[in-house]
Structure formats: C-alpha cells, structure tokens
Structure 1
Amino acid sequence: MNINTDYDVIIAGSGMGGMSAGAMLANAGYKVLILEKAHAPGGCSSSYFRKGYVFESGATTLIGFDENQPLWKLEKETGIHIPREEITPSMSVWLGGEQLTRYKDREQWIQECIRVFGNANGQRAFWEEALAVSDLVWKVSLKNPFFPPQKISEWAQLAINNNPLDVWVLKYAFQSVEDVMQKYGVDTPKFRRFVDEQLMITAQAKAHQTPFLFGAAGLTYTNYSNYYVPGGLLEMVNTIRAFIHEKRGALHTKEGVEMIDRDGEQFTVHTQNKRKEKFSYRSPIVISNIPVWNMSGITSGDVKEYFKSESKDFNDAWGAITLGIATTDTYPDDLPLHHQIHLEEGKTVPFTNSDSIFVSMSKREDTDRAKEGSRTLNISTHASPEFWYSLNGEYESAKQQVEEFVVKKLAEKLPGFADSEIDVIHTATPVTWENWVYRKKGRVGGIPQSMARSLLNWTPHETPFKGLYLVGDTTYPGQGIPGVTLSGINVYSRVIKNHQ
C-alpha cells in the first residue's frame, strides 16, 4: 500500500471549523491537507450552483468579525481578509402582522422591543443584561482556548487568564433564559414566542432549555456587525482555501475519509474519491471536522468505542428542511436580507414541529448569485430527521406539501414575494442533507443546548488518543460560523501546545 507522508496535519472535512484550524496551523508552518467528500468545500457554510443561480447551503447570517470575536481573531492572526459587506439592519422578524426590526444599534433595538412588547423597564433590564453577558462571553472565550479544561494545568490556566471580576457571568451557566426573563418580568406569551424562535435558530433549543450564558449571545447576535459575502459563502471558504494553498497545504474535494487507523503515535487516513480510487495518508496529527455521530463509523478498536460512548447521549438533534428559490426581483428597496417568519399561533410547517421559517436573500446587485432582475432566497425550518427517514413511500408527497406550504406563507408574509415569478425552486429534507454533507441522518446545527448538560460535559476538542482532535459544531462551543471558527482556533492552540 502506497502511503503519502507529505503532510504534518490531516483534516477530515472542510467546514469552517476545519478550515479555521487549517488556516491557523498553515500560518504556523504546518503542512496541512484537508479532505472533503463533497464536490465543494465548506460543509454547512457553503454555496451550491443550480440552474444558473448560486444558493447558500442554508438560510444563515454571518457575524464574528467584531473585536474579540473568532473571525476577527482568524483574520488578525493570519492576515486573511474574507470579502464581505456589512448589512444593517440585518433582519426582520414577522410576528403576526407586525414587523420587528433587529437593529444593530443597541439603544434603537431596546426601543424597538419596548414598542412591540411593552414593559419599558423590564425590556431594558433584560437586554442590557443579555448584552453585558454576551460581550463578556466573546471576550472570555478567546482568552481561554483550552476550554473545557481537560487537565490540571488547564484548570490552573483558567485562573491565570481571567479577571476575578468577570466571575459573575458564571452564574448564568446555571440559569436558563426563561429564568432571566422571569426575573425581569418580561416572560409574556408574545415575548416568549419571539425569544423561543430566536433561540431555535441560534441554540437549537428554547428559553427553558438554554443556559443564559449561551442564550445571551444567541439572542444578541444582531447587535454585532452582520455581513454578506458577495457571490455566496463559498467565496469565504475559497479565500481560506487559497491561503492554505499559499502555505504549501492542500484541500482535496470529492475525496472522503473512509477510515482513520491508529498505529502508535501515527494515524493512517484512508480515503476514496468519486472515481472509487483509494488513497492513504499518514500523519501524527489528525483533526476531524466530522460530527461526533459519524466518528464510530470511520474508526476501529478503542477509538471506535470512545466515539460510541461520546455520542450516545446526543441522539436528539435537529435536521432541517431547506428550500432554494430564485424569483424575479419584486421586493421593496428597504427590505432586509434576513427574515424570521412566525406562523400563526398553533400552526406548524407540515411534517415538522416548527412554527417559524427563516429566510435569507441575495443582494439585488449580486449578479454572481442571480442574474440581473432576479434574487435567490434560501429558506430553512427545523425538522425531525427520524420522522423523515420513516416516511418511505410517502416521502415525495410530504416533501411537496412542505414546499407548497412554505411558498404560500412567503406570499402571505414576505413583502414582494407574491408579485414575483418563481424561476427555480427545490426542496431538501434531512435525507437530502445526509446525501449532501454526509452528516448522519442529516443532523445539522450541532447539539441542542440543555440545562442538564454542564459546560464541562461538552465533547472535548482533544480526544484520549494523542494526536486526534475534534472540531466543529458537535464540540464546544457548538453551532454557527463564529462558534465553529472558535472551535478551530481552540484546536489550533492545543496542537501548538502538544506538538511543538
């Protein structure tokens, strides 16, 4: 067997966690190889082409470039500049017939909440607390790359790295968002519905399940700089890819990892490409950007048993139904690019338990994504993977019903959509997503937040097997482009510490 030993680090999967770790390591002098099974890099943070249009993998926003945030750190350390344009306001939320605008300016946002939800004193107190916690969480997260701590020395480092005056924030690891809402007297049905739906797209859980320590950042992300990448998120990934190439590294698409074998302090990674050709690579360092649920299927022996044990408590995770729609551009000039549309009370998207849909639109002037006079829309809603895998003969009919329902709701709720003509439409379910990004059962968005899971119970970046690391949304700190970028930075820090 011919084994390639040219690389210092092998990274399985090219999501933003793996790309961030790869860029940081390449910048530090490591020769990096990233292996991606799909035809395009980026995983859930990517774009795809369909009938002359460019769609995002899912409806999504992009933050993380402000000071003390992960993409700011990535650019600062490497010199990479990800092409982007700030958008403001970043988002509208449609509650019944009412539009709630998610302003970046903090005072303007608090006034908007007072207008919509009333209780001026309670709303101000709640949002000031959330913003203070969020600001501190971002700052502290970058200062503590060895979190959650796994060794005595890392516990000691926590004490050294952190200001004792910041310890007040830790109490919110044990208080839910619901608890804080009740403390400030803002837990009304209308505000609870708003908060629950915001948390579902940022934490994969609702107010009673989400610790305020995480929920604060999830609720306030629109109060930081939000960005749009011209041409689609794939351009962000390709910018990082080009940097890794400049540093002697490589990214192979259409070449998936089939098995990771451990041999002493070396790992052999076996792959297969789309032409069924097989390759093997050996390195002392392997970073897996593959979800923890998938890992037992590509490992053996005690490594396999470790991942079986590590993932057994995390089988309840969300999938997504996504639609890509290209339409004529009949939208108002002042319409934001992102929208969360709440369904009527008691209504859900067919064949899901989801009572909202999230919409991201291409910019009018972005003719790389849509021809002039047209726009692309990406729509996402939560769905149970297990349900969609059980449909069998009813699958296509259910998929069609969801598509028709979403189109009808967009016509009712999204200004300008009813006047547009649809040129392209396609719908993806969790089954599609597994075939697309190879995540087990099409689970996307990481592991839902839970009050029952302490900060120390997150799947760690460093495994018990020297040289094998994990990155991505099923490790700390979880989902979202900033979250997985932070996990990439943390893995980089562990590799530098352990292998220099």
Structure 2
Amino acid sequence: MKFDTVVIGAGIGGLTCASLLTKTGRSVGLFEASGALGGCAGAFSRGAFAYPVGATLGLGFQPNGVHQRLMHVLGREIQSFPVDPVMEVKHPHFTIQVKADREAHVQNLQAYFPEISSGIASFYAYVFQIGSTIKQMMQHFPRFPMKNMEDVKRWLRGSSWKTRKLVPLLSQTVYSVLKHHGALDPDFIDYLDGQLIDSMQTDTRHCSALFGLYALDVYHSGSHYVYGGLSQIAETLGDVIESGGNSIYKHEPVHSVTKSRDGFTLQTEDGRSIQARQVILNVPVQSLCDLLDAALFTKLTVKWRQKASQAIWSSCTMYGAIDETYLRNTSLYTQHITVPGGKTNGEHFFLSISSRDDETRAPAGLRSFTISTHTNPRSWIENNDQKSQIEETIYTQLQAKQPEVYEGIQHAFSASPKTWEAFTRRPSGMVGGFPVTRSEAVRGALSVQTPVKGLYMCGDSVFPGASTMGVTYSGIHAFEAVTGLSFTAMEELLYDL
C-alpha cells in the first residue's frame, strides 16, 4: 500500500488533518487502533444509550470559532446550540452559575465574593482584554515553537500594538495576576482552579498566565451543546475523508515506523506493509518510544525524548442514565468541587447530561450522563480499590448537592485508566495533554514539525494543547506544514466564490 500521507490515529487532530488533505486531493490512509473515531472526544453505545467518552462541552462552534470555520471549508455543518449558563459550579461554600455574558458573569461573581468585588472586576477586565487579543492572533493559526520564516510571518500577521501586552505574561502565572489585581480569596481561587484543571490540566499557582487567562475567557466566547456529543465532529470528518475517496482503517494499529529511501515504511500489527512520503502522528508523545524504530527515535531531540517519558493525568469516568422526571432546572453541565482545594479522584469532577431533545443519546424520558475526574494513572497500579472509593465520593457529593440527579439515576457504570487505555490505546490511559504550566507553555511546547523531516505530529501533545479546539488547531497546523497551503487562503477562496 502506498499513500502520499499516512495519519496514525483518528482523534480529532488526525481527522482534521486527513479531511483537509482529502479536500485538497491528497492520497491519505488513516489508521486507527480502536474501532471508534474521535479518541478522547469519541463515543460508545450501550443498549439504547450513547455516551461521550470524555470531552462534552462544545467550544469553538460560534461564528468564527475554529470548528465553525473548519466545517465551512469542508462544506459540512454540525447541529448545536449555545448554552447559558455555561455550567454550574458547586463548592462546599457556594453554588455559582457561570453566565455566558461576560458582564453578567462578573456581576454574579461579585455578588458571591463581595469582599474582593473590585479585584474581580479588575481581574476579569484584564482577562477579557487578553482573551480578545489572543483570539485575534489565533484567527491566523500561528504555530509555536516557531521553526521558520513562515511561522514568524504568521505571528506578525496576527500581531498588533496590543500584542506587546502579552509579553510579560510569558513569565507569570494566573496566581500572580490574581495577586496583582487584589483577588486572592481562597474560595475564589478554588473556583478558578476548577475552571483551569478542566481546560489547562493545572491550577492557578502553576498555570501559564498567557494561556490560562485565554482559557478563562473562552468559556464566554460561545459554549455549545452538540447534538449526539462531540463525537459528531469525528463522524463528520470521517465522512469527508471516505466520501472524498480515501480510507480509514479501523482496528488496524500501526506497530512500527521506520525511515525509508523515499519516505517511511509502516508495519501494522496484522503484518501489512505501508509506504508513505509523509507520516502524521496523532498519538500521545509517550507512544513514540514504542512506535518509532530505535534509529528514528534517537533522531528526536532531547526535549522530545524527555517528553516521551513524562507522565500526565488520566481519568476515572462514570456513565449512566437519569429519569428526566427528577430533573427540574438542572444545568446540562455541572462542575463539582467536593472539598476545598480538591482537584482529583472525585474531589473535583465534571458532570454533563444529555439535552431533553437529544434522542440520539437516550430514549425519550431518559437522559444519559458522563462524569469525569482527574486521576494519577500510576497510582492505580498499587490501589485497585480506587474506583469504588471515587464512586462513593461522587455519589456522596451528588446526594448532598444535586439530589435530583442522585435520586434519578437508573443505572451507572465506571471506567478506570485501564479502561481508557483499552479504548483509546493511549499509554496508561493518559489523556488531556501536558499541564499548561509557565515552563511547559513556552519552553516545553512541542511543534507539529518533529526533528525528523517528513514526520509530523498533531493532537494534545503539541501546541496549542488539549481540548477539541486545541487539537483542531494542531490538525490544521499539520495540514499546512505538510502541504505548504494556507487554511485562511482556502477560506478566502470560498468567500470569493
């Protein structure tokens, strides 16, 4: 088998890249180890119910959002609607609705934290200012770390005099910005930690100010519920690839990648040999030591090899069904912080419930739900009782803070990091990318261009990191790096037509 390009892994990043390559007439083979598309944003069915594997809240579907722009270029559409409130946050000391409108959100927070009211106003004015500046830059799909003059030009195209204000943030954390604005209240920090652990995989004390402030603003740029779940992104992109004449090979894990005279040779576990001029890896960087042959792996720089040995978070997840007669004005998305400062193992978890009119996920009268909590995958090796302990923590919190959900649960089951590893084929079930700390966000960031010519990478291991928005950006970056084409030029051509 021969292809112009082989993409390994059918996560959202790999599917984005492969769909754009298909759109521009390239020969692409997409190989996926599991039987499902979407990776951590995929879905599975059990009986009459469909469950999002992990990611649930839709970001980037608003006008000029990255998903909306991608679907426009591909001539497709995904059904969704904006949610407001974005979510509820339930903490032992407060319950807060996260309003979609920026001004209403700030006023809501000031009402809950009156002692730091002026600090909150000042902090969020800065958050929204930084968010607007970065959003403008991201419209041009800048790549980082910069590898060539084209990357420099991209940053310059998205830059303005306002961009200079971003430079000091490179050396700051969200916590230091909070301190500057006089908003250091322990409960308010808990609230922000909850927002950042889900989006940046770290907390205010460690999170890069540059990316953390942008993440806090993104929730107010257009949070959406996607009918059928975020796996609809994957299914739509998969259809673009196959209807465009290319193939997706499910249940066909690639066993090895070696350098050949004309590009690369890949071997699947079934013994199939594949030739490709370029290879795009949509796998965690931790997979590279096993996937690349020894000669190829040693060509990676020290930074890449160190990243390949660095552990990240995994997830423990619960799935189930709720009788909707128990639900009154329950938010579709709820973040729980069960103990002050809690971040893992049920001490912080995110609940999403299917919409009443979404019968693709549950029969009439019932709703499907997904609950996810961060966990350390290595700790599960020594403690097999963790799953039941986490379940008990979650049930206790629901009974206290969302009794209508607790009482309405009809059935539920859980997935450990080992389950995640089996479903996604990610080592130790690691998900979510690297924590976006001050050091990782800049010095530690990986580019879509690996140190090996013709070998590229997309997904949550490379810039700009996790979330369906982040990996979609990386898929577009990989497409542009492979082809030399510009995504924005493709958009302009469509508008001219």
TM-score of the superposed pair, with normalisation by structure 2? 0.92
Q: Which of 158, 167, 172 is 2:169 aligned to?
A: 172
Rate the CA distance shift 1:126–1:331 in 2: closer, same or farther, 3 A.
Answer: farther
Instruction: For 2:18, give the aligned amino acid.
Output: G
Q: How far apart, CA to CA, are the structure 2 residues paired with 1:204 and 1:54?
A: 26
**Aligned-pair RMSD on alpha carbons?**
2.1
Residue equivalent to 1:230:
227
Instruction: Give how far 1:311 is off.
Output: 4.1
Q: How far apart, CA to CA, are the structure 2 residues paired with 1:63 and 1:144?
A: 17
Q: Deviations over 1:397-438 (max 9, x none)?
A: 332232232122222212512331422x21111122111111
Contact 1:31 1:247 survives alignment (8 Å): no
Q: Deviations over 1:434-491 (max 9, x none)?
A: 1111111111000011222352431111012221100000100110000000111111
TM-score of the superposed pair, with normalisation by structure 1? 0.91
Q: How far apart, CA to CA, are the structure 2 residues paired with 1:368 and 1:75?
A: 21
Contact 2:59 2:222 survives alignment (8 Å): yes
Q: How far apart, CA to CA, are the structure 1 residues paired with 2:44 and 2:311?
A: 28
> In terms of mean alpha carbon deviation, does 371-380 or 472-481 score higher?
371-380
**Match of 1:284, SS?**
strand
Q: Which of 97, 102, 118 is 1:101 aligned to?
A: 97
Instruction: Give how far 1:59 is off.
Output: 5.0
Residues 106-145 of structure 1 correspond to what in structure 2 (within 5 A)? 106-118=102-114, 119-145=116-142
Instruction: Give how far 1:141 is off.
Output: 2.3
Residue equivalent to 1:85:
81
Residues 266-277 of structure 1 correspond to what in structure 2 (within 5 A)? 266-272=263-269, 277=270
Give the total of aligned pairs: 483
Q: Which of 41, 44, 58 is 2:40 aligned to?
A: 44
Q: How far apart, CA to CA, are the structure 2 residues paired with 1:211 and 1:347?
A: 20
Residue equivalent to 1:414:
402
Rate the CA distance shift 1:370–1:59 in 2: closer, same or farther, 3 A.
Answer: same
Instruction: For 2:416, give the aligned amino acid.
Output: T
Rate the CA distance shift 1:452–1:29 in 2: closer, same or farther, 3 A.
Answer: same
Residue equivalent to 1:383:
375
Instruction: Give how far 1:159 is off.
Output: 3.6
> In terms of mean alpha carbon deviation, does 203-212 or 328-337 score higher?
328-337
Q: Which of 449, 452, 458 is 1:462 aligned to?
A: 449
Q: Which of 285, 307, 321 is 1:292 aligned to?
A: 285
Residue equivalent to 1:484:
471
Q: How far apart, CA to CA, are the structure 1 residues paired with 2:92 and 2:390?
A: 20
Contact 2:12 2:233 survives alignment (8 Å): no
- Identity, in percent, stands at 26
**Match of 1:143, SS?**
coil
Residues 92-491 of structure 1 correspond to what in structure 2 (within 5 A)? 92-96=88-92, 98-118=94-114, 119-152=116-149, 154-155=151-152, 158-159=155-156, 161-272=158-269, 277-306=270-299, 309=302, 310-313=304-307, 315-345=310-340, 352=345, 355-391=347-383, 395=384, 397-423=385-411, 425-453=412-440, 455-491=442-478
Rate the CA distance shift 1:283–1:145 in 2: closer, same or farther, 3 A.
Answer: farther
The answer to whether structure 1 residue 496 and structure 2 residue 483 are counterparts is: yes
Rate the CA distance shift 1:159–1:220 in 2: closer, same or farther, 3 A.
Answer: closer
Rate the CA distance shift 1:155–1:300 in 2: closer, same or farther, 3 A.
Answer: same
Rate the CA distance shift 1:386–1:76 in 2: closer, same or farther, 3 A.
Answer: same
Contact 2:41 2:468 survives alignment (8 Å): yes
Instruction: For 2:89, give the aligned amino acid.
Output: V
Contact 2:41 2:231 survives alignment (8 Å): yes
Unpaired stretches in structure 2, ≥5 consecutive residues: 487-497
Instruction: For 2:401, give the aligned amino acid.
Output: K
